[in-house]
Amino acid sequence: MEVPILKQGHYLIASIQSALSDADLSQLREALIARVGKFRARGVIVDVTALDVMDSFAVRTLRDIAHMARLRGAETVIVGIQPEVAFAMVQLGLTLKGIVTALDLEEGLAFLDRQGQGRIDNRQGHGRIDRG
């Protein structure tokens, strides 16, 4: 099942709609990384609200997405991890260390906006013009 990826301003939003197989997760990773370049995205949000389980493969793939996107110049926020899912993840020993998470889509977007503001301020401070 393919995960729809929406473009909103400088951000890409992938909202997972149903249970995903390992192949679906890998496909999502490839699609997101390609689109970060294509749309010159500065932020990626992966909404996992609909995921009822996160196992070691899912966590590894989300980590890979965040790291690869960062190498391509975009920040990733994982949003919507459900309480039971968080509980099972901790029991499994799975962490998302170094990855930004937020309660929901709204919080995730707010984080990216703050990040972007920081970047613009920095660049202007150095007398450079922000791209885009």
Partner 1 sequence: MGVSTVGDELRCLITADTDVVQARQTGRELAAEVGFSAGDQTVIAAAISEIARNILMYAKRGEVRFTKIVDGTRQGLIVVAEDDGPGIRDVSRAMQDGYSTSGGLGLGLPGARRLMDEFEVVSAPGQGTRITMRKWKRGNA
CB-based contact 71:41 (threshold 8 Å): no
DSSP structural state of residue 54: -
**Nearer Cβ to partner 1 (42/63):** 63
Write the CA distances from 9 to 18, 21, 41, 102, 110, integer angstroms: 25, 29, 8, 19, 13
Q: Under rule CB under 8 A, how many of the chain's residues touch partner 1?
A: 24
**Nearer Cβ to partner 1 (9/88):** 88
In the complex, minimum distance from the CB of residue 91 to partner 1, in angstroms, rounded to a whole number: 5
In the complex, minimum distance from the CB of residue 127 to partner 1, in angstroms, rounded to a whole number: 45
Q: Is 115 exposed, middle or buried (0-12, 13-18, 19+ CB in 10 A)?
A: middle
CB-based contact 1:24 (threshold 8 Å): yes
Of 4, 7, 8, 19, the one binding partner 1 (CB under 8 A) is 19
For the window 55-94, what string marks contact with partner 1 as x by the rule CB under 8 A?
A: xxx-xx---------------------xxxx-xxx-xxxx
| Beta pairing, strands 5-8 & 11-15 | antiparallel
Amino acid, res. 15: S
In the complex, minimum distance from the CB of residue 21 to partner 1, in angstroms, rounded to a whole number: 4
For the window 22-61, what string marks contact with partner 1 as x by the rule CB under 8 A?
A: xx----------------------------xxxxxx-xx-
DSSP structural state of residue 73: T
Give residues in contact with partner 1 (CB under 8 A).
19-23, 52-57, 59-60, 82-85, 87-89, 91-94
